Amino acid sequence: MASRERPLEKRPHGSGTKPVKRGNRWYMQVTLGRRLDGKLDRRWASGATPEEAQQKARELQVAAAQGMLPTYERLTVGDWLQTWLQAKATKAAPTYTLKLEAHIKHIRESLGRVELRKLRPAHVHTLGQKLEAKSLAPSYRREVLCTLEAALERAVAMELIPRNVARPVKLESTPQVRKVKAWDAQTVSRFLEVSKPYRLYPLFYLGFATGLRREELLGLRWQDVDLPNRTLRVEQTLTPVKGSVHIGPPKSRASRRVVSFGLDVVAVLEDWRVRQREEARILGDHWQDTGLVFTSSTGQPLHPRNVNRDMAAIIKRHELPPLSPHGMRHTHATLLAQKTKQIELVSRRLGHARPSITLDLYRHVAAWELEEVALPLSELLSPAPRTLN
């Protein structure tokens, strides 16, 4: 009489497939949840015996439950950058998102097809070399690498990769002295004289008088201007975004500041407000009340390209030295630094995070620092104090 076969033991749900022998080892498959693409994450465990294979499978399950499971996803750097950018775009300003998109374009050209888990510092170093070959500015190359480092840092937090391979890679380049374009006082006076007939004359005047950025000038509201006390608050900016404009907060905490101005600015702004109110009265219901100081003839926000266009036209017509709207800021800072010899004061007025940034930009106008300390040895040895101006 044939012996009855021993019935198979029923395995618990989720314990994996039955161990099978292949060659000299036993293998079994276990499901550990779902991958990033939504498919089931199935892994193989092996051992010299069925029991050892089952033990390996249990270890995989425990590691998955603790979030310590190594990833074997064939996720490329390009795919991850896209996922990371989509998450950032939900919280970041549109202008910042556009900047990240430009950075990621450079990264994907070089590393887009590399598997995220196979990315190494050598890949990042090669990216830096390719960026340098494109003759991109060192500061911009650093921004691109910083974007990659930030994206990889998030991948580490998500346990997609064990470490951030971009962190140890540093750019090796010759330090470059930043040069800014600015006008002298005579040129500024000439420009303001010939620009009086133009609609944007008050904007130009305020730009040279306060050193506000173009985006800060265009985002300025009447509620932020206190004419009796001759101050204004920088509370928002207006920036271009794909043919339109975006109004949002200033670029940094230091940029949110109070800026004082003189009686001449009060007179210019009062005249401008009278003209703007007259335009609103004439248009009636067709006037768009945005509350902005500088608007179009219908009250709508001004696009930054209008400022660039009008300034360039005035400069060309009257044969003045080239200068961009941002040059008004540099000109103000240069003239103020030469007049006051107070870099820290200039820094606060410009909204720089640190005086060192201001000093780096306007070192060429800080020659008095060297003159002030060029003292003869006899005076250095003298006990009498000397106050520097």
Q: Single out the residue in 109, 142, 157 at which a domain terminates.
A: 157
Residue 198 CB coordination number (10 Å): 14
CA distance 18 to 11: 9
Q: What is the residue-wise DSSP string for 31-79?
A: EEEE-TTSSEEEEEEEESSHHHHHHHHHHHHHHHHTT-PPP----BHHH
Q: Which residue has the higher pLDDT, 352 or 35?
A: 352
pLDDT reading at 20 higher than 80: yes
Candidate from 11-25, 96-110, 370-384 with smallest mean pLDDT: 370-384
Task: State the Cα torsion 272-274-279-282 to the nearest 10°.
Answer: -170
- Residue 190 shares a structural domain with residue 309: yes
- Residue 150 shares a structural domain with residue 277: no
**Residue range 281-300: average pLDDT?**
93
Type of residue at 187: T
How confident is the model at residue 198, as a pLDDT?
Answer: 95
How confident is the model at residue 158, as a pLDDT?
Answer: 76
CA distance 286 to 128: 53
- From residue 76, how far is each of 42, 166, 169, 380 by CA, in Å? 20, 15, 20, 64
In a domain, 58, yes or no: yes
**Residue range 229-252: average pLDDT?**
88
- Residue 263 shares a structural domain with residue 294: yes
Residues whose CB is less than 8 angstroms from the CB of residue 362 and which lie 6 or more positions away in sequence, other chains included: 180, 333, 334, 337, 343, 346
Domain that holds residue 132: 77-157
Work out the pLDDT band at 138, boundaries 50, 70, 90.
Answer: confident
- Residue 54 shares a structural domain with residue 84: no
Burial of 168 (C-beta count, 10 Å sphere; 0-12/13-18/19+):
exposed
- Residue 29 shares a structural domain with residue 131: no
- From residue 87, how far is each of 127, 144, 151, 215, 252 by CA, in Å? 24, 18, 11, 26, 21
Q: Which residue has the higher pLDDT, 158 or 302?
A: 302
CA distance 87 to 131: 26
In a domain, 105, yes or no: yes
In a domain, 370, yes or no: no
DSSP conformation class of 295: B
In a domain, 8, yes or no: no
pLDDT reading at 88 higher than 70: yes
Q: Which residue has the higher pLDDT, 365 or 89?
A: 89
Q: Single out the residue in 65, 93, 122 at which a domain terminates.
A: 65
The domain spanning residue 101 has which CATH number? 1.10.150.130
How confident is the model at residue 8, as a pLDDT?
Answer: 47
Q: Which residue has the higher pLDDT, 160 or 193?
A: 193
> In which order are the strands placed within the sheet that holds 258-260?
225-226, 231-233, 258-260
The number of CA neighbours under 13 Å toward the Cβ of 63 is 14
Instruction: Give yes or no for a contact between 67 and 159, defined as CB atoms under 8 angstroms apart.
Output: yes
The encoded tokens of residue 28 equal 């079994």
Query: What average pLDDT does the chain have?
Result: 84
Candidate from 27-36, 47-56, 93-102, 223-232 with smallest mean pLDDT: 27-36
Q: Which residue has the higher pLDDT, 366 or 304?
A: 304
- Coil, helix or strand for 219? helix
In a domain, 358, yes or no: yes
Candidate from 177-181, 214-218, 289-293, 335-339 with smallest mean pLDDT: 177-181
pLDDT reading at 105 higher than 50: yes
Work out the pLDDT band at 42, boundaries 50, 70, 90.
Answer: confident
Question: Position of tokens 């510092």?
Answer: 121
Q: Which residue has the higher pLDDT, 181 or 389?
A: 181
pLDDT reading at 146 higher than 90: yes
In a domain, 309, yes or no: yes
In a domain, 84, yes or no: yes
Q: What are the tens digits of pLDDT across the range 172-207?
A: 655 555 667 889 999 999 999 999 999 999 999 999
Q: What are the tens digits of pLDDT across the range 61-74?
A: 887 776 666 555 57
Q: Single out the residue in 65, 92, 124 at which a domain terminates.
A: 65
Residues in the chain, total: 389
- Residue 201 shares a structural domain with residue 245: yes
- Residue 191 shares a structural domain with residue 262: yes
- Residue 278 shares a structural domain with residue 300: yes
* Predicted TM-score of the model (pTM): 0.67
- Residue 61 shares a structural domain with residue 81: no
Question: Position of tokens 């292949």?
Answer: 22
Residue among 325, 324, 367, 333 at smallest CA distance from 351: 333
- How, if at all, do strands 25-34 and 20-22 pair? antiparallel
In a domain, 12, yes or no: no
The domain spanning residue 282 has which CATH number? 1.10.443.10
Counting the structural domains of the chain, the total is 3
pLDDT reading at 37 higher than 90: no
- Residue 240 shares a structural domain with residue 357: yes
Residue 187 CB coordination number (10 Å): 15
CA distance 35 to 88: 22
- Residue 86 shares a structural domain with residue 61: no
CA distance 23 to 223: 81
Q: Which residue has the higher pLDDT, 345 or 320?
A: 320
CA distance 48 to 225: 80
How confident is the model at residue 388, as a pLDDT?
Answer: 46
How many separate helices (H) and strands (E) can be counted in the chain?
Answer: 15, 8
CA distance 45 to 27: 6
- Residue 304 shares a structural domain with residue 264: yes
How confident is the model at residue 72, as a pLDDT?
Answer: 52
The number of CA neighbours under 13 Å toward the Cβ of 171 is 21
**Residue range 332-356: average pLDDT?**
84
**Residue range 217-241: average pLDDT?**
94
pLDDT reading at 244 higher than 70: yes
How confident is the model at residue 314, as a pLDDT?
Answer: 97
How confident is the model at residue 136, as a pLDDT?
Answer: 87
